[in-house]
Chain A
């Protein structure tokens, strides 16, 4: 018998029922909930007279709609947004689930709050009605996004109907060069595999460059597994993971910690396990990257030039032509000459303390270029508090950035934080789709350090030149 992958091990530990055709009921250890994809699910429960099966394993926090401006206490001005957040308040109370309301300092983006509070632990199954649930895979937890019908299914049964995905290994060998970060890794991987390269797979990220990453960096890598089409991204837990988890409010304590640790240490891919697909990148080959188009696979080193549609084949030719028109870019233009109007630092991809430190380091003692507006949105109230304690908030404010309250903000622009038509943004978020950050807004994805460098120079910039 061949060995098991990390995914195989977690999967096997959570199958509550398996039908003859391989359709399984997968038991869910943690269900994270936010206000946008849950109201219809709670309403479904109510109409059927059902309860939440495991309210103690269900955690809710509003994040998508919440204002990030300091006048948040005055309430949400947009009526629909307000109703959606109030619906979550009511549902959390009525169904007795764990809840961090808007005025709680622990409130923030659901994928930042879960790990921060120790809800996310190695070996768990974690779901949320949000595609970036993949983030939690950084802990060696099997974590993925689900639709609202499935949210209702998990609320009612604590299980999901699933068939097993295939195993894919993404190995990043060696060391990263200075100026290259977790965001560059994850974008470079998608640039190589394409946005459908992971479809049907669960990815395990491994290799020296991954091992060397902090938990924050690992979360950034796994967060964008979905942008590569994968159901989930995983990184085997190790001392870095255990160190991060230990002492968090909902992490096990005492004898339970020891018992948990014993099991967590078995969560790795056996040497003789077989992957269905393997992708390898050399750490030293990865440069600081940016996206040029409207798909996360449109990735190039910052030293590159805007491509031409003719550089591609098949359906990508028309897609590239459409992207370039939407983005207002001419083939052959050096990426480092593309001027920007806005900078967004935040999101579940890059809204953690380490991301803010990396951006602050570039910004320190400098000013945002004239005519550029910059916004820093911490991923949670606790990240915000820590950044203030470390003096990062002062650095950002002195440079001319707006220092905001926690939320999803301009990553998807459901709240008032939006780009105007035609505005071009250097963004640390995860999607550069048409209209994602605002109607006709133009998004270039990059790392926090790269976004900070772009803010200072007023154009896309190779961070290595300002380090």
Chain B
């Protein structure tokens, strides 16, 4: 997995609540058997018209935000389907950090498996970053995972919380399966005991 240490770049504002994973990557793009190549279809139905032309006023089509590395959005980001195609598409587009007041559970977990840092912040902090994001390349934002800080264009710092284990994995680009297999003895022991206690499983 890609490491996430620090990220400096343009943020794109998407001031909508309940951005669902159908919006992030519509179902017609779930037919792939690969993880890559989904960035071009990120937010497909908002980003393109029915003829496949770019919708000019959609944020990621605007010159100021085409190269965004950070997305700032509203409450309950990533709700709906468990499709990991959503973080795959976000990452493939070039965005590695999503900032919102809250996230849906499955999407939030999926981000960490793909080198994306989802940051939940109080609404007033998100509002401030949303204003910064509106200014495109005139408002570069830096996210530092080690120190858990976001630095805005005016130099102001916002602290954010992140689970210590998830932070460790992201900073070091660790593979979950490899980590778990180090504890395979515990799984063996559990499986044996469970087979005695609940043989019907």
A-side interface residues toward B, CB under 8 Å? 13, 15-17, 19, 21, 23, 25, 27, 29, 36-37, 39-40, 43, 48, 50, 53, 57, 64-65, 78, 80-81, 83-84, 87, 121, 123-124, 129-131, 144-150, 152-153, 156-159, 161, 163, 195-196, 199-200, 226, 229-231, 252, 256-257, 259-260, 263, 295, 297, 314-316, 318-319, 322, 412-414, 421, 431, 433-436, 439-440
Contacts and interface: CB of A to CB of B under 8 A. Distances in A.
A228 B103 CA distance: 13
Interface residues of B, number: 58
Contact of B26 (A157, A295, A435): A435
A252 B200 contact: yes
Nearest to B45: A435
B187 interface: yes
Given A36-B31, A84-B33, A229-B104, 4 more contacts: A17-B190, A21-B165, A200-B105, A318-B17
A318 to B, nearest CB: 7
Contacts of B87: 147
Given A48-B177, A65-B31, A158 B191 contact: yes
A436 B79 CA distance: 13
A81 B23 CA distance: 21
Contact of B82 (A37, A319, A436): A37
Given A150-B109, A196-B76, A414-B30, A157 B198 contact: no
Nearest to B28: A414
A153 B177 contact: yes
Contact of B201 (A124, A200, A316): A124
A70 to B, nearest CB: 23
A366 to B, nearest CB: 33
Interface string B68-106: 000000111001111110010000000000000011111
A229 B200 contact: no
B22 A431 contact: yes
Nearest to A123: B198
A50 B15 CA distance: 43
B102 A199 contact: yes
Contacts of B183: 16-17, 25
B80 A433 contact: yes
B114 interface: yes
A319 B18 contact: yes
* A-B interface, 3 closest residue pairs, ranked by CB to CB distance from nearest: A252-B200, A149-B113, A80-B31
B157 interface: no
Contact of B110 (A29, A81, A83, A147): A147
A50 B30 CA distance: 25
Contact of A318 (B16, B30, B105): B16
B60 to A, nearest CB: 17
Contacts of A83: 31, 33
B109 A157 contact: no
Contacts of B34: 40
A92 B54 CA distance: 40
22 contacts: A17-B186, A21-B165, A43-B33, A84-B31, A123-B198, A131-B80, A131-B106, A144-B106, A157-B184, A159-B187, A161-B165, A161-B180, A195-B76, A199-B103, A318-B15, A318-B17, A319-B18, A431-B81, A433-B80, A434-B23, A435-B22, A435-B45
A33 to B, nearest CB: 13
Contacts of A161: 165, 176, 179-180
Contact of B105 (A50, A153, A229, A413): A229
A121 B199 CA distance: 13
Interface in B166-201: 176-177, 179-181, 183-184, 186-187, 189-191, 194, 197-201
Nearest to A297: B18
Given A156-B181, A161-B176, A260-B198, A315 B74 contact: yes
A105 B34 CA distance: 30
Nearest to B35: A40
A81 B27 contact: no
A439 B45 contact: yes
Nearest to B30: A36
A449 B76 CA distance: 31
A363 B109 CA distance: 44
Contacts of A158: 187, 191
B147 to A, nearest CB: 20
Interface string B141-178: 00000000000000000000001110000000000110
B53 interface: no
A130 B79 contact: no
A15 B45 CA distance: 42
